């Protein structure tokens, strides 16, 4: 299966135009405190200009489920939960989505990896509750967006321990990805999707050519 790509940290109409040209699978909008944060009214405008083939993902950190539902109302189709949210929080969120007939909305839970046993813990806690697990590097000072990679071999060991079987949930790889290492990342982890933000930026702004080169590297992997 072809590895999908998510470009995160979209916060302007220029960013949207760049994505519409490049054609990634997912566009990430940060709705948690961050230098890339967008407000709901801005989000609605950005999604309105986004190519309908690109799926909008909202990134949230320890926020009220009601706020996430407001984001769904303006066009978010994947809820990326990136904080300390518990399985109980996920269950409550899923119940609220069902009440609003939003059963097609996906939920991805981020797990920050520092040690191998954290992967097993995520496997146990969120199996059957979420539609995807994002693996990112652990940092005691941030919930994500550090631009740093963790040891991808931890995920290789997990796959090998399962005798080659894939997890029941899609795996989204984040943290420190760029055009120079994405091929290695895919060959090591074989993720459902790769998630990149600062790795396709120059001076804190999305770089059209870096995005194109990143996606081209990804497509070369698919042709191998």
Task: Let me know if 8 is a catalytic residue.
Answer: yes
- Asked if residue 93 lies in contact with residue 65, where contact means CB atoms within 8 angstroms, the answer is yes
Provide the CA 180 distance to its chain's centre, in angstroms. Answer: 20
Question: Exposed, middle or buried, 224 (CB in 10 Å: 0-12/13-18/19+)?
Answer: exposed
- What are φ and ψ of residue 183, in 5° steps? -65, -45
- Write the DSSP symbol of residue 203: T
| Set 51, 131, 151, 207: catalytic member | 131
Structure tokens at 99: 């009440």
The dihedral built from the CA positions of residue 176, 186, 205 and 42, taken in this order, carries a sign that is negative
Task: Let me know if 25 is a catalytic residue.
Answer: no
The half-sphere exposure of 162 on its side-chain side, counting CA atoms within 13 A, is 13
Alpha-carbon gap, residue 216 to 179, rounded angstroms: 9
Catalytic positions, written as ranges:
8, 131
């Amino acid at each position: 299966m072809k590895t999908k790509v998510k470009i995160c940290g979209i916060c302007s109409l220029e960013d949207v135009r760049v994505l519409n040209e490049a054609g990634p699978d997912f566009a990430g909008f940060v709705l948690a405190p961050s230098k890339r944060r967008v407000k709901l009214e801005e989000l609605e405008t950005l999604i309105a200009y986004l190519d309908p083939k690109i799926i909008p993902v909202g990134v949230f950190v320890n926020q009220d489920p009601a706020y996430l539902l407001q984001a769904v109302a303006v066009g978010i189709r994947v809820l990326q939960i990136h904080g300390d949210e518990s399985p109980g929080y996920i269950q409550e969120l899923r119940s609220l989505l069902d009440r609003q007939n939003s059963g097609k909305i996906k939920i991805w839970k981020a797990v920050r990896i520092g040690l191998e046993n954290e992967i097993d813990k995520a496997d146990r806690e969120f199996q059957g509750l979420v539609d995807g697990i994002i693996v990112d590097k652990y940092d005691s000072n941030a919930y994500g967006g550090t631009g740093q990679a963790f040891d991808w071999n931890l995920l290789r060991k997990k796959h090998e321990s399962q005798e080659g079987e894939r997890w029941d949930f899609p795996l989204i790889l984040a943290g420190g990805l760029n055009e120079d290492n994405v091929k290695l990342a895919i060959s090591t982890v074989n993720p459902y999707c790769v998630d990149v933000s600062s790795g396709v930026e120059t001076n804190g702004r999305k770089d059209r050519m870096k995005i194109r080169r990143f996606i081209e590297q990804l497509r070369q992997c698919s042709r191998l």
